[in-house]
Amino acid sequence: MKWCIFLMSLLNVLFLSGQSHNLPQFPNDWFGLWQGNLEVYNHQNLSQNVPMTLECFPTDSSGVYTWWITYGTDTLTGKRSYSLKVIDNTKGHFIIDENNGILIDGYVMAHKFISRFEVMGNQLTAIYERTDDKMIFEIIFNDTKEIKNTGNITSPTGEKIPEVKAFKLSGYQRAVLNQVH
């Protein structure tokens, strides 16, 4: 039985290590114009469906890329002309510079670019994920005030149970973006 578990573990490691080079490399394999529709959910209902584009291209500056996001059909008022900047590529650390004094740290994990930040009493987690020929964009947000505090006790066996805070989700957004070029 131990040999079977060892063999399965070894095969899993070999399989995963053999596939890691096929993951899209950030940001180079993410370059292009991506288009789709952003679905905005409040509670369990789809409340909006908005066209969305993301443009990621190299610039003349080393380690700086366009990260332009447009929501809706108005390419002037709906466009966010952000910059993506390399902080430490070996650690997958980048910054989205909103070019207005706001800098949002993001990190690459596997084939996802993830950032977590707080603004105006809301915590947001933004996840960009590259799949074969698509980019999935998700954003999850919640109020910063917890709705429940549990734990923070000692169990009857003497084990210290850590405090756990729960937060009410306020919304969820998701877009499946196709690469146009």
Q: Is 119 helix (H, G, I), strand (E, B) or coil?
A: strand
The whole-angstrom separation of Cα 96 and Cα 139 is 15
Question: For residues 114 and 107, is the Cβ–Cβ distance under 8 A?
Answer: yes
**Alpha carbon distances (Å) from 157 to 153, 154, 160, 161, 175:** 11, 8, 9, 11, 47
Domain ranges of the chain: 21-179
Q: What is the DSSP string of 151-168?
A: --EE-TTSPEEPPEEE--
127-138 pLDDT tens trace: 999 998 899 999
Provide the CATH topology of domain 21-179: Lipocalin (2.40.128)
Question: For residues 83 and 96, is the Cβ–Cβ distance under 8 A?
Answer: yes
148-176 pLDDT tens trace: 999 999 999 999 999 999 999 999 999 99
Written as one letter, the residue type at 125 is T
